[in-house]
Structure 1
C-alpha cells in the first residue's frame, strides 16, 4: 500500500516539475503565456533602446564641447620629454663583436627611414630661426617643415650605416616629444652632462644641440602629421670603459649611460 502511494507521489512530483517548464493545459512556458512573454520582451527592448539613446545623446553633447585640434587641458605637461634611440638607458657593446651592437644600429636605421628625402617631398621649406605659425583665419596648419637627415652628419646613417659603433664612437639620437602650442623662448637646445668625472667629449648634430625654432609651434596631429623636432648627440669618448683581456689581445667594452632630468 505504501509502495503504491510513493509511486503516485513520485509521478505527481515529476508532472509538477515538467509543468513548471511547459504546462500543456494553459500553454504557459516558464509560468508565462506567449502574450505575456511578448509584452515583457517588448518592454525590455524599449527600455534598453532608451538607455542606449540617452548614452549616445550624452556622448554627442560631450563631443560637441571638445576641439578636434586642441585638448581642453594642457597644463598637465609643463615640459616636453625626450625619446632616446637606441631605446635603452644602458648601451653596452664590444666593438670587436658586431653582433653585440647590430641591434642598436638596426634600430637607429629603422628610426631614421621615415625622414628620408623621398618621404618628405610634400613638406614645405621653412625659414630657419623663425617660428612657423598658421594664419589666424586658418583652421589647419598645412605647412610642415622637413627635417633633413644630412643635418645629423656622421649620425645620419647616410655615410656610415653603422653609426660609429665599430670605431667605438656610438651615435645616440634624442627626439623631443611634441606639445601643442609650445613656443620656447630663445634658441632651444639639448645639453648632455656626465654624472661621473670621466674625460668625455660629446659632439652635437645639429651643432651645439640646437633645435631650430621653425619646428615650433606644434598645432596637433591633424595639422602636423609628419613634423619632426629632433636633435642627436654623438659621443666621441665614453662614460665608462671596461677592459677585458683574452689571449694577449685587448678588447674594450664600451658602456654609455644616459639620464634624462
Structure 2
C-alpha cells in the first residue's frame, strides 16, 4: 500500500491528502534477519529429526527393531553367515587335504636347477653354516678364559652335536664308500656317520672334555654344507686354489670330486692377524693344516630321516687378544659358485678373544 502524506491547513478543518513525494525514503523490511530466523528453525528441526532417527536406528520401539533389523531378521542373517563361512572353511580344508595327498613327502617337486635355487646362476646354490652359534642372529664367537663363558659356548655346541650329529643305535643307516656311495642306497636309508667318526677319543683337541677347544682358548668351529636335496659335486677339474694346496697342477676332469673346505681372514687385516688353523675331517681325523675334506660318496642328500650332514672341524690356535677377526670359509668343488653378496658357497663369522683377570676368576670360583 502506497504511503500518503497528510497535511493540515492552518485554521481550517479541511484535510488534504497529498501524493507521496518521489524523494521520500521508504523503509525496507529486514529480509536478512527473517531469513536467518527461518534457517535457524530449519536447523533445529533437522537436528531433532536426526537425533530421533539415530535413536530409532539403534532401537525402534514402534517397529521393535535393533539397528534396522528385527530379531527374526538377525537370526536369519546369523544362520546364513554361519553356514556360508562353514562351507568356505570346509572347502579350504578339502583343498588342503587333496594337496597333501598329491604332494610327495620325500621328494620335492622342484629342486636343484629346476628350483628357485638356480636363479641368476647356471649351478645349484650351495650354502654353508657354522656352529657354535649361541644366538641365531649373531655370528660372533667369543673366546675367553672365563669358565662361565667357556661352559656357555661349549653347551651350545654340545646341544647341537647331541641333536643333529649323533645317529641312534636303531638308525636306518649303512656304511658309505667309493664303491657303495649314497646314491646307491635304498630310499630312506642314510650313510653311517656321526660326530665320533672325527672326534673319536676324549683326548681329541675338539672333544667334550676339552670343551671343544674353548677350554684352552683354541676354539673348534664346525663348518658344514647346508642340506640340498639331490645335489652332488659335478664332474670337472679341481679348483685352482685346491690344486695349489695339494701341489697338483692338472686340469683333468674328475668324475667324482670331493668337497674341500678352507678358511681365511675376510680382509687383509684379518689375514695378517690370522694364526694357525687345523682342519679335522673324515679324510684326516688327526688334522690337516691346509684344508678339510667331505668325501663325494656322502652325496646326494635324499631326505633320509637318520641323515647326519658331514662336516669339518676347524681349530683356531693362538688367537690375538682383544682383536676382532673376521673369518670366511669356502667350499671348493666343481659346480660350486662363490658370491660374496649372497654368501653362495661360503660362510662368514667373527672370533674375539678376551681374558679376565686371574683375581676375578678366583672370586667367581
SS at match of 1:165: helix
Q: Alpha carbon RMSD of aligned pairs, Å?
A: 3.6
- Tell me if structure 2 keeps the 8 A contact 1:215–1:227: no
Provide closer, same or farther for how the CA distance between residues 59 and 23 of structure 1 changes in structure 2, counting only shifts above 3 A.
same
Task: Determine the structure 1 residue equivalent to 2:104.
Answer: 67
Task: Determine the structure 1 residue equivalent to 2:275.
Answer: 200
- Tell me if structure 2 keeps the 8 A contact 1:178–1:229: no
Structure 1 residue 217 and structure 2 residue 300: aligned?
yes
Which consecutive unaligned segments of at least 5 residues does structure 1 have? 1-11, 243-252
Task: Determine the structure 2 residue equivalent to 1:230.
Answer: 311
Deviations 1:88-142 (A, max 9, x none): 54444344x434544322322222233676x52123341334422366xx6x413
Deviation at residue 172 of structure 1 after TM alignment: 1.3
Q: Counterparts in 2 of 1:14-53, with a 5 A limit?
A: 20-23=57-60, 26-53=63-90
**One of 163, 166, 174 as aligned partner of 2:223:** 174
Deviation at residue 155 of structure 1 after TM alignment: 4.5
Deviation at residue 237 of structure 1 after TM alignment: 4.0
- Tell me if structure 2 keeps the 8 A contact 1:209–1:231: yes
- Tell me if structure 1 keeps the 8 A contact 2:182–2:300: yes
Distance 2:300 2:176 in 1: 14
Structure 1 length-normalised TM: 0.69
Deviation at residue 144 of structure 1 after TM alignment: 4.8
Task: Determine the structure 1 residue equivalent to 2:169.
Answer: 121
SS at match of 1:84: strand
Task: Determine the structure 1 residue equivalent to 2:116.
Answer: 76
Distance 2:258 2:143 in 1: 35
Task: Determine the structure 1 residue equivalent to 2:189.
Answer: 142
Distance 2:196 2:164 in 1: 6
Distance 2:221 2:274 in 1: 18
- Tell me if structure 1 keeps the 8 A contact 2:213–2:220: yes
Task: Determine the structure 1 residue equivalent to 2:238.
Answer: none
Task: Determine the structure 1 residue equivalent to 2:257.
Answer: 186
Structure 2 length-normalised TM: 0.52
Deviation at residue 70 of structure 1 after TM alignment: 2.6
Distance 1:163 1:46 in 2: 61
Distance 1:161 1:178 in 2: 29
- Tell me if structure 2 keeps the 8 A contact 1:150–1:156: no
Provide closer, same or farther for how the CA distance between residues 155 and 29 of structure 1 changes in structure 2, counting only shifts above 3 A.
same
Provide closer, same or farther for how the CA distance between residues 228 and 17 of structure 1 changes in structure 2, counting only shifts above 3 A.
closer
- Tell me if structure 2 keeps the 8 A contact 1:188–1:211: yes
SS at match of 1:228: coil
Task: Determine the structure 2 residue equivalent to 1:132.
Answer: 182
